[in-house]
Amino acid sequence: MGWCDDPKSKKYNKLIKLPSNYNYEKLYRKENIYDLVLVLDFNMRPTIKKKGSAIFIHIAKRNYKKTEGCVAINKTQLLKIIKKLKKNTKVLIENQK
């Protein structure tokens, strides 16, 4: 599986099957950061080309290296969030500078 991040594709900012002729974020990683993924409802209804894609909350790497636009937290915390989610849950992400 992958997530299309290529604005030339009709599947831009959507889950896709691989292989693909378009650019994509591969959702299988050896470091297991995508074992649990929450897809944020960003630029999805409607999807606007080049506005942003593949915005997730996922498992952080061991040393919490920065992401490319996602939010990464430890697996235990992500599991706690998932357990509290309901159909209409809204996620607010604040910048903690």
Tens of pLDDT along the chain (97 residues) come to 999 999 999 999 999 999 999 999 999 989 899 999 999 889 999 999 999 998 999 999 988 888 888 999 999 999 999 999 998 998 887 776 6
- The pLDDT of residue 97: 61
Distance of alpha carbon 68 from alpha carbon 17, whole angstroms: 22
User: pTM to 2 decimals?
Assistant: 0.85
Domain boundaries, the chain: 1-88
Q: What is the reported pLDDT for 16?
A: 98
Burial 83-93 (b: 16+ CB within 10 A, else e): eeeeeeeeeee
Please state, in angstroms and rounded to a whole number, the distance separating the CA atoms of residues 76 and 57. Answer: 13
pLDDT score, position 64: 87
